[in-house]
Amino acid sequence: MKKIDVIMPARNASKYLRCAIDSILNQTYENFRLIIVDDASTDNTVKIIKSYLDNRIFLIKNRSQMGVAKSLNIALNYVNSEYIARMDADDVAKSNRLQTQLDYLINHKDVGVVASAADLINENGKICGIKQYSSNEVDTCNQLINRNVIIHPTVMFRTQLINKYGLYDENLNGAEDYDLWLRLGKHTKIINLPQKLLKYRIHTDNVSNYAIKKVEKATIKAQIKALIKYNYNLVLILYIIRNIISYLIPASIKKASFN
For 138-158, what is the mean pLDDT? 93
For 15-39, what is the mean pLDDT? 99
Which range marks the domain in which residue 53 is found? 4-257
pLDDT tens for 61-71 read 999 999 999 99
Query: What does the DSSP assignment read for 131-180?
Result: E-----HHHHHHHHTTS--S-GGG-EEEHHHHHHH----TT-TTSHHHHH
The pLDDT of residue 203? 86
Q: How far apart are CA 138 and CA 63, in angstroms?
A: 43
How many residues are recorded in the chain? 259
Q: For residue 224, which of 164, 187, 171 has the smallest C-alpha distance?
A: 171
Query: pTM of the full predicted structure?
Result: 0.94
Return the bridge partners of 33, or none.
5
Q: How far apart are CA 5 and CA 56, in angstroms?
A: 10
Return the bridge partners of 36, or none.
8, 59
Angle between helices 209-229 and 176-184 (to 10 degrees): 30
The count of domains in the chain is 1
CATH number for position 148? 3.90.550.10
Contact 101, 153 (CB under 8 A): no
Contact 88, 16 (CB under 8 A): no
C-alpha distances in angstroms, 240 versus 186, 237, 244?
A: 19, 5, 6
Contact 121, 92 (CB under 8 A): yes
For 98-111, what is the mean pLDDT? 98
The pLDDT of residue 76? 99
The pLDDT of residue 212? 86
Whether the per-residue pLDDT at 106 is higher than 50: the answer is yes
Q: For residue 77, which of 153, 7, 12, 21 has the smallest C-alpha distance?
A: 7
Q: How confident is the model at residue 258 (pLDDT cuts 50, 70, 90)?
A: very low
Whether the per-residue pLDDT at 1 is higher than 70: the answer is yes
Contact 85, 156 (CB under 8 A): yes
The pLDDT of residue 80? 97
The pLDDT of residue 257? 53
Query: What does the DSSP assignment read for 183-241?
Result: HHTTTSEEEEEEEEEEEEEP-TTTSSHHHHHHHHHHHHHHHHHHHHHS---TTHHHHHH
The pLDDT of residue 85? 99
Contact 97, 27 (CB under 8 A): yes
Return the bridge partners of 131, or none.
118
